[in-house]
Amino acid sequence: MAVIAEKCPQIEVTIVDVNPQRIAAWNDENLDNLPIYEPGLKEVVAEARGRNLFFSTDVEGAIRSGDIIFISVNTPTKTYGVGKGMAADLKYIELCARQIAAVATTNKIIVEKSTLPVRTAQAIKTILENGESSGINKPQFQILSNPEFLAEGTAIQDLHHPDRVLIGGDQSPEGLKAIETLTDIYAHWVPRERILQTNIWSSELSKLTANAFLAQRISSINSISALCEKTGADVDEIAKAIGTDSRIGPKFLKASVGFGGSCFQKDILNLVYLCRHFNLPEVADYWEQVIKLNDYQKQRFSKQIIDSLFNTVSGKKITFLGWAFKKDTNDTRESAAIYVAWQLLQDKAEIHVYDPKVSKEQMLKDLDYLAEQNLEFSLIKDQLFSNLIVHNDPYAAMHSAHAIALLTEWDEFKTYDWQAIYNNMLKPAFLFDGRNILDIVKLSKVGFEIKSIGKS
Ligand code: UDX
């Protein structure tokens, strides 16, 4: 929304949230206190805030005055009841729709921005059409699907130069008009041929499909990484060799400890759930395997650490470099680091973590969430968590460690004085590069026992 405000100064954009602390943080004079860390974001907010970009807690006022309302609430995976662990929890979407129905007095375009299972628009429509503001002056609603394809860490760049913008809507005259209205907004900075217009169901399902295909590429190369380690092949060389085939292309072929982030796992599980719902078990199993392979990759990484450290990590100091799910973000959702830490903590390791952007509170919250799903460990979790030590200084974090595990590809890790780090570690000094960003040959010469993904 900040980018829309930046690119369209004549359009007033108001962002509302029920959480006053969050809105206060967005209004903070010090732009380093914005709630989300994203390169380039503070510059965009600095330009538009107070001009035509506003942050407020007056949800009802904004609904009443808005012509277009973007619903951008979260849709986490359900943790209870039918579809537990797979289906998207649409509770917040429903609450938004009900609030709009209760408050709106004029016609509006409602845009689904959150990633949603296909056919959610129908539910929103039903709620809006049966709202309290019925009667003679009942407002009319058009529902559009406009999924977001930005990736975190490169969000502003992705928004300024999107490969495409997707807008789905009803194919009725009113629906087509609403699609045009939203198209005109993006056309302020996106070439029209990159703005794709579809029916609403195609748009909803395209987002899940795009994420499933991207995640599938990572799971595919990660499956080959396991085979490389057995055969002497090098997964980075393979990625390069196949990526130069223009039909395959070079992107999303970086082997890793596993993908994380708020989208991939959630969206694929959602897709799997939809397929089961529509009685397509073979299709569901096909996509579910992408997730299973990702879980396997995380377990394989933890197991390799334990195996290498002579089958026990109990009482050993293992340092994690990175906790975020990728570089240039403070987001940790579904980060591989959480799962690897959890496995090693269960094996009684002492985990020391350094991440340039993630707080200790967040790390504990992430682990707590996992622990809550495992009754046996939820009972002893406080004891386990006392073995998680968070550092602000990476060198202190690695001092006297038995092993280092690199979990996030932060650029600064490549610039460290690895000789000094090696000198201060216990020997043999192990280094597990879960992102394949370090120079193995150079670091082996320094003295490290180094293991990368997909290299033997
Ligand atoms: C993703 C999609 O890219 C984006 O289009 C969608 O809107 C939201 O989900 P995001 O989760 O922000 O974006 O990050 P992305 O760059 O896609 O990375 C996802 C995960 O895959 C990260 O953990 C990343 O480190 C990992 N990854 C990515 C790999 O392990 N190897 C790769 O080659 C690429």
Q: What's residue 134's pLDDT?
A: 52
- Residue 451 corresponds to which tokens in the numbers above? 């293991």
Judge if the upstream peptide bond of residue 139 is cis by omega within 30 degrees of 0.
Answer: no
Whether 207 is a known active-site residue: answer yes
Residue nearest to atom 17 of ligand 1 (CA): 151
Report the distance separating Cα 145 and Cα 148, nearest Å: 10
Residue nearest to atom 7 of ligand 1 (CA): 149
71 and 96 in contact (C-beta within 8 Å)? yes
The residue ranges of the chain whose pLDDT is under 70 are: 132-136
Q: What's residue 132's pLDDT?
A: 64
Ligand 1 mean position, distance from CA 226 (Å): 20
216 and 248 in contact (C-beta within 8 Å)? no
Atom of ligand 1 nearest to the CA of 336: 23
Calculate Rg over the CA atoms of the chain: 24
Q: What's residue 17's pLDDT?
A: 96
Q: What's residue 223's pLDDT?
A: 98
CB atoms within 10 A of CB 375: 8
Report the distance separating Cα 235 and Cα 396, nearest Å: 32
Report the distance separating Cα 290 and Cα 229, nearest Å: 20
Choose one of 154, 209, 256, 262 to mutate for the ligand 1 pocket test, by most ligand atoms within 8 angstroms of C-beta: 256
Q: What's residue 136's pLDDT?
A: 63
Whether 442 is a known active-site residue: answer no
Q: What's residue 253's pLDDT?
A: 98
CB 325 less than 6 A from any atom of ligand 1: yes
Torsional class of 447: left (φ above 0), alpha (ψ -120 to 50), beta (otherwise) = left
- Give Cα separations from 385 to 59, 341, 359, 361, 373 (angstroms): 39, 10, 15, 11, 15
Q: Structure pTM? A: 0.92
For the chain, how far is it from start to end, CA to CA, in angstroms?
A: 46
Q: What's residue 120's pLDDT?
A: 85
53 and 40 in contact (C-beta within 8 Å)? no
